Amino acid sequence: MPKDHGIGASPMRREDVRFLTGRGKYTDDIALQGQAHAVFARSQVANGVITSIDTSEAEKMPGVLAVFTGEDFVDVGGNPAGWQINSRDGEPMKEPKRPVLAHGKVRHVGDAYAAVIAETEEQARDAAEAIVAEIDEQPAVVDMGAALKEGAPLVHDEIGTNQCFDWGWIEDNRAATDEAIKNAPHVTTLELVNNRLVPNAMEPRASTADYDPGTGDYTLYTTSQNPHLTRLLISAFVLGIPENKLKVVAPDVGGGFGSKIYHYGEEALVLAAAKKIGRPVRWTASRSESFLTDAHGRDHVTKIELACEKDGTFIAFRTETMANVGAYLSNFSTATPTFLHGTLMAGNYAVPNVYVNVKAVFTNTAPVDAYRGAGRPEATYSLERVIDMAARELGIDPLDIRRRNFVQPDQFPFTSAAGLEYDTGNYGALVDKLEEMIDRKGFEARRKASEKNGKLRGLGVNTYIEACGIAPSNLVGVLGSRVGLYDAATVRVNATGNIAVMVGAHSHGQGHETAFPQVVAGMLGIDENSVEIVHGDTSKIPFGMGTYGSRSLAVCGSAVVRATEKVINKGKKIAAHMLEASEADIEFADGQFSVAGTDKFVGFGDVALKAYIPHDFPLEEVEPGLEETAFYDPANFTYPAGAYACEVEVDPDTGKVTIDRFAAADDFGNVINPMIVSGQVHGGLAQGIGQALLEHTTYDADGQLISASYMDYAMPRADDVPFYSVDHSCQTPCTHNPLGVKGCGEAGAIGSPPSVVNAVIDALQSGGHSNVTHIDMPLTPSRVWSAMNS
């Protein structure tokens, strides 16, 4: 019988009602009295020197209140990278300034160089078009290989190179890995492209700023996954507004997937504009602006080598990657291809040698940063494609070669050759479950049936491991992070017994408003409906780092547990006073404080009321009130893992790939709300399938973004994907957080691309196309057909 409440149950989401009735409150839905509108003038060339900007005509246009250019922000700071990477030679990465508005030069199509504030959006748009900018177009660099060549046009002249860093991981393992590969009986080499994607949260970015001249207080409503991080960046690095004078509110946010982690220049502009004109200023991106200016994802060009014994035992993985960071360093852009990628390059395997080299490259394209999975999809794709290729070369079953190399259950905690300490896992159990879910035994019969219909059927499998619950501050500090990555929660028990929980995590689809109360109510033995979650407003919540890296439950949920424990401990003091007993004798269970060994007890609600009516409190022993805050900093990453399988049919006449079935067996440790967890996996799978078959961000040689609308960028639609089979019953709970949870938000996107590609290659091989060993994503009909007919 499934539980209907508490940890492990799937109560219906309480936030759904407002979303289903049109009463959600997203940033663009907020209308402030007297608000004006901002529209940006954006570069139409990828690389150019700004020789002049004439705003005089624009300023005279109807309704125009102010016009800004880069000149207005030369004296303020830049938007920084949050992580310092050092190159192999010890040199720190190149870190050019990222201004609020471009000044001197524009560096990608869409780079904003001016902004107009007007009474209406239409007036602002008309006036933005009247700005006359003389921009001397320069040759652009788009291709990473070309950008690294001697004499290539420079994205940032002042750093004298397009290489941001040249990073090795683990540098001390380089020689041993090279040696192992040189002496190996078998080496499989694969060159691949991890295609550039646009995150495409359905709600475009939007920011509305307000300034109170009476108090000097600013308020910024913005589409953020982490309002405190945004406030910190604006306060400490960009505009210098003191944190106590800036409130950042991220209300309902329509998806993020990484793209709304970062601080963007538009947020700073509307704040400055609101102060200047003394009225609220609102800006909402069009979808075209989103394509041009949201941080993109992936974009690696990689060579990976797998050295192994003839029996398939892995000896070494060696990876060389070029990672595009675009025109400016976005906040997590330097961590994504390094510590979220290189450290995962041992996969689920007890391989002795791993070495990764990553060169990060500036190009005249939009900034590239974390997108759902962030580095881990790139690692998984490289590993699981080259393993599949090796299995085929060696004539070994693709699951058997993986089983042979798995870290075994009795080896945990296990320090991988890429330096992470995996706490728990049972990868063999996941693969066993997967075979059952996909009905592997029935595959040959299905393949024959497809052949009869003139179709080629293939089965692709892969495993994955990720590092989530980002992140232990002491570890990431050593690795170059400039921030701590703890989270925080305040549990406020009101006098009448209901509870507000203020959390640093932010929900933009993840269901925190439903799942977090399951944890608190479960611990306190009370009704979930009496627990309310407050998030997204820096004036209400404690300083937390927000939601990304599958961290909400593992990190912020742990803070919620710790704060709730403190509430229980405080309640024991109050109960001891009420029951005239010693605090040491008070026990708490099922919503009641009782004196051990007696039938004396008081209910949680009575204790809450007493906390706020302390007429007879021993005030020297216990303070009034019942409210506790905890900050939680994890001891380690968490390590979700999974085994995925995809079965496809390929039409040999057209190259069209159809996914017949997809199975995902994941180990997320303990599961708080299975319904939400499955939903998270479903969404990730569609994004991974989208990457594998549909989505591709294309710049032409001049740096024009060719795929800048939904007519050109193929988002997965309902008829591109099947019903998925997902399972999270294989559970090895995390050993170092109080809930034993691992994080589920990114798994689907990390785990699914290789199995789709492996399935297509399997289908083509079975159809006699033995020369087709790899096709780069997305596997469009054109690419598949061309590979078959090459």
Instruction: Give residues in contact with other proteins (CB under 8 A).
Output: 10, 12-13, 15-26, 28-29, 31, 122, 200-204, 252-255, 257, 286-288, 508-511, 674-679, 682-687, 709-711, 715-719, 721, 723-726, 748
Contact partners, residue 318, CB within 8 Å, separation at least 6 = 177, 178, 181, 304, 305, 307, 353, 354, 355, 356
- Minimum distance from CB of 251 to other proteins (Å)? 12
- Minimum distance from CB of 284 to other proteins (Å)? 8
Q: Cα separation of 725 and 727, whole Å? A: 7
Q: Cα separation of 523 and 526, whole Å? A: 8
Nearer to other proteins, 237 or 662 (CB): 662
- Minimum distance from CB of 438 to other proteins (Å)? 12
- Minimum distance from CB of 675 to other proteins (Å)? 4
- Minimum distance from CB of 542 to other proteins (Å)? 24
Contact partners, residue 444, CB within 8 Å, separation at least 6 = none
Q: What is the per-residue DSSP string for 656-676?
A: -EEEEEEEEEEE-BS-S-HHH
Q: Cα separation of 259 and 330, whole Å? A: 10
First to last CA, the chain: 56
- Minimum distance from CB of 21 to other proteins (Å)? 5
Nearer to other proteins, 26 or 83 (CB): 26
Nearer to other proteins, 20 or 589 (CB): 20
CA 764 to each of CA 387, 402, 452, 524, 757: distance values in angstroms, whole numbers, following the listed order: 18, 22, 15, 57, 11
Nearer to other proteins, 23 or 182 (CB): 23
Return the structure tokens found at 467: 């590092």
- Minimum distance from CB of 281 to other proteins (Å)? 16
Nearer to other proteins, 180 or 437 (CB): 437
**Residue count of the chain:** 790
Q: What is the DSSP letter of 778?
A: S
Return the structure tokens found at 549: 């890296």
Nearer to other proteins, 626 or 726 (CB): 726
Query: Across 15-142, where does the E strand assignment appear?
Result: 36-42, 48-54, 64-69, 105-106, 112-118, 132-137
- Minimum distance from CB of 202 to other proteins (Å)? 4
Q: Are strands 531-534 and 499-503 parallel, antiparallel or unpaired?
A: parallel
Nearer to other proteins, 124 or 164 (CB): 124
Query: Across 90-154, where does the E strand assignment appear?
Result: 105-106, 112-118, 132-137
- Minimum distance from CB of 239 to other proteins (Å)? 29
Q: Cα separation of 509 and 24, whole Å? A: 12
Nearer to other proteins, 507 or 538 (CB): 507
User: Residue 504's closest CA among 541, 479, 449?
Assistant: 541
Nearer to other proteins, 177 or 678 (CB): 678
Query: Across 79-197, where does the E strand assignment appear?
Result: 105-106, 112-118, 132-137, 163-169, 186-194
Nearer to other proteins, 321 or 687 (CB): 687
Residue whose entry in the numeric block shows the structure tokens 């040689």: 701
Nearer to other proteins, 183 or 709 (CB): 709
Q: Cα separation of 328 and 47, whole Å? A: 13
3-state secondary structure string, 191-217? Answer: EEEECCECCCCCCCCEEEEEEECCCCE
Q: Cα separation of 363 and 87, whole Å? A: 19
Q: Are strands 217-222 and 246-249 parallel, antiparallel or unpaired?
A: parallel
- Minimum distance from CB of 724 to other proteins (Å)? 6
Nearer to other proteins, 292 or 568 (CB): 292
Nearer to other proteins, 280 or 748 (CB): 748
At 226, which helix (H) or strand (E)?
none
Nearer to other proteins, 195 or 259 (CB): 259
CA 129 to each of CA 48, 62, 87: distance values in angstroms, whole numbers, following the listed order: 18, 13, 43
Nearer to other proteins, 202 or 584 (CB): 202
- Minimum distance from CB of 259 to other proteins (Å)? 10
CA 407 to each of CA 350, 352, 429, 464: distance values in angstroms, whole numbers, following the listed order: 5, 11, 12, 12
Q: What is the DSSP letter of 776?
A: P
Q: What is the per-residue DSSP string for 501-520?
A: EEESS--SSS-HHHHHHHHH
- Minimum distance from CB of 607 to other proteins (Å)? 34
User: Residue 405's closest CA among 351, 464, 355?
Assistant: 351
